[in-house]
């Protein structure tokens, strides 16, 4: 039953591979892997059926090994690692040739199990390594990593037992306690693998969608919505810790003429450049956002006017300095507003920062202006 559900999940993965964003790689391979694992299980079930046993057993080994190889390729693609197709194809070919030899020419079940287990162990342990190296600290990754660990241990035990007792205790065609446990975990594992693949993919999808809804696609800094979330968290901290927060409103000067003279594509590159310059002038806890057009807003938590002024000057210095790239020269005007009271909201502080910015524009551009404090009771001192 769980094998069949694993098969159904392969259809889900195939359709997800068509509809999910292309940043989520490996879904097709995972879907193919499940299909192969299910086919392998069906061939095992049909070993006493109409097909010659040797055909069904060779077919079962071929599809299971290929399916397990595909899980590895899928996981590599999922983590953006170059897929090791050649290695998997080569090992699969060699493994199948060896299994066929020890099945047809010199029948030796224990050796066949050892070969099978080595291939599976290599594929799953590599995936475990990928999860440890690249996996995010989230439940789906932990779940998938545990699956890989359990699978690796199960095949190691099976391979070692096969070599120890000549394969008697692990023969899939001979009923026994180990066989029951092995068959149960294997078919359950197909379903668990399907669940693992799907939860990893949907968690990645959630991260991408969250990122898309809170980031500006051109510069990759926060957009207005992302900034509002960050500001709300900062405002809560302000309320608790009574600390100052400062906002910079940054607007490029005569940006329209850059677009008109050099083209929209160059204008876009200028915007990306500005976002980089601003980002480099900030600490890790500071946040930058693009509010559309050529306007950027910076949140400087736990910062008074003095440091904010230094940050603004540093940004302007870098923008003014002669550059080695091919971008046109440009400058920016900056308005600064310091918030000392959590009762002021985002609209309030933005309005004051924008007011200072317009004054900087009116006074000739390429300068920094500071907004008057909000007309609300002051609770903390400037730092």
Ligand X SMILES: Nc1nc2c(ncn2[C@@H]2O[C@H](COP(=O)(O)OP(=O)(O)OP(=O)(O)O)[C@@H](O)[C@H]2O)c(=O)[nH]1
- Window 50 to 89, contacts with ligand X (CB under 6 A): none
Whose Cβ is closer to ligand X: residue 102's or residue 330's? 330
Which one, of 321, 303, 320, lies nearest residue 248 by Cα? 303
d(CA 99, CA 116): 8
CB of 318 to ligand X, least distance (A): 19
Q: Choose which of 30, 197, 255, 296 interacts with ligand X (CB under 6 A).
A: 255
Whose Cβ is closer to ligand X: residue 207's or residue 259's? 259
CB of 278 to ligand X, least distance (A): 16
Q: CA angle, corner 280, sides to 292 and 289, nearest 5?
A: 20
Q: How many binding residues for ligand X (CB under 6 A)?
A: 16
CB of 281 to ligand X, least distance (A): 20
Whose Cβ is closer to ligand X: residue 234's or residue 253's? 253
Whose Cβ is closer to ligand X: residue 298's or residue 340's? 298
Whose Cβ is closer to ligand X: residue 76's or residue 251's? 251
- Window 183 to 242, contacts with ligand X (CB under 6 A): 218
Give residue number: closest CB to ligand X. Answer: 267
CB of 290 to ligand X, least distance (A): 9
Q: Choose which of 361, 366, 380, 382 interacts with ligand X (CB under 6 A).
A: 361
CA dihedral (143, 145, 151, 157) positive or negative: negative
CB 231 within 8 A of CB 299: yes
Active site residue 313: no
CB of 341 to ligand X, least distance (A): 30
- Window 234 to 253, contacts with ligand X (CB under 6 A): 251-253
Candidates 140-148, 192-200, 207-215, 255-263; binding stretch for ligand X (CB under 6 A): 255-263
The two tokens of residue 33 are 């892997």
Instruction: Give the pairing of strands 368-370 and 332-339.
Output: parallel
CB of 187 to ligand X, least distance (A): 54
Whose Cβ is closer to ligand X: residue 76's or residue 253's? 253
Contact flags string 283-312 toward ligand X, x per CB under 6 A: ----------xx------------------
Candidates 29, 76, 294, 369; catalytic one: 294
CB of 259 to ligand X, least distance (A): 5
With tokens 């009923």, the residue in question is 175
Whose Cβ is closer to ligand X: residue 136's or residue 268's? 268
Q: CA distances (Å), 48 to each of 1, 43, 184, 339, 376, in order?
A: 20, 10, 20, 79, 85
- Window 256 to 285, contacts with ligand X (CB under 6 A): 256, 259, 264, 267-268, 271
d(CA 272, CA 266): 10
Q: What are the catalytic residues?
A: 294
Binding region for ligand X (CB under 6 A) = 218, 251-256, 259, 264, 267-268, 271, 293-294, 361, 365
């Amino acid at each position: 039953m769980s094998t069949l559900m694993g098969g159904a999940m392969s259809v889900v993965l195939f359709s997800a591979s068509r509809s999910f964003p292309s940043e989520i790689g490996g879904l097709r391979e995972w879907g193919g892997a499940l299909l192969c694992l299910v086919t392998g299980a069906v061939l095992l079930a049909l070993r006493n059926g109409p097909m010659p046993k040797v055909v069904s057993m060779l077919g079962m080994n071929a599809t299971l090994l290929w399916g397990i190889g595909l899980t590895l390729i899928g996981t590599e693609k999922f983590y953006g690692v170059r897929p090791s197709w050649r290695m998997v194809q080569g090992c699969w070919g060699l493994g199948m040739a060896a299994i066929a030899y020890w099945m047809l020419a010199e029948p030796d079940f224990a050796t066949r199990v050892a070969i099978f287990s080595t291939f599976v162990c290599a594929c799953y342990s590599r995936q475990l390594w990928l999860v440890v190296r690249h996996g995010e600290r989230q439940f789906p990754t932990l779940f998938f990593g545990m699956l890989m660990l359990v699978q690796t241990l199960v095949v190691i035990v099976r391979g070692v037992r096969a070599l120890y007792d000549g394969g008697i205790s692990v023969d899939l065609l001979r009923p026994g306690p180990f066989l029951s446990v092995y068959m149960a975990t294997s078919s359950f594992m197909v379903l668990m693998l399907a669940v693992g693949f799907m939860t990893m993919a949907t968690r990645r999808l959630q991260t991408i969608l969250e990122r898309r809804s809170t980031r500006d696609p051109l510069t990759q800094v926060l957009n207005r919505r992302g900034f509002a979330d960050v500001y709300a968290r900062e405002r809560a901290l302000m309320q608790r810790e009574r600390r100052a927060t400062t906002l910079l409103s940054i607007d490029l000067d005569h940006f329209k003429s850059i677009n008109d003279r050099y083209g929209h594509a160059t204008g876009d590159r200028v915007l990306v450049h500005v976002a980089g310059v601003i980002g480099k002038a900030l600490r890790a806890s500071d946040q930058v956002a693009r509010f559309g057009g050529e306007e950027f807003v910076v949140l400087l938590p736990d910062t008074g006017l003095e440091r904010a002024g230094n940050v603004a000057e540093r940004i302007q210095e870098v923008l003014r300095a002669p550059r080695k790239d091919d971008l046109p020269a440009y400058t920016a005007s900056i308005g600064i507003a310091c918030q000392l009271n959590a009762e002021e909201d985002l609209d309030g502080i933005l309005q004051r920062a924008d007011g200072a910015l317009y004054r900087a524009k009116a006074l000739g551009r390429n300068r920094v202006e500071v907004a008057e404090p909000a007309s609300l009771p002051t609770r903390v001192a400037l730092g």
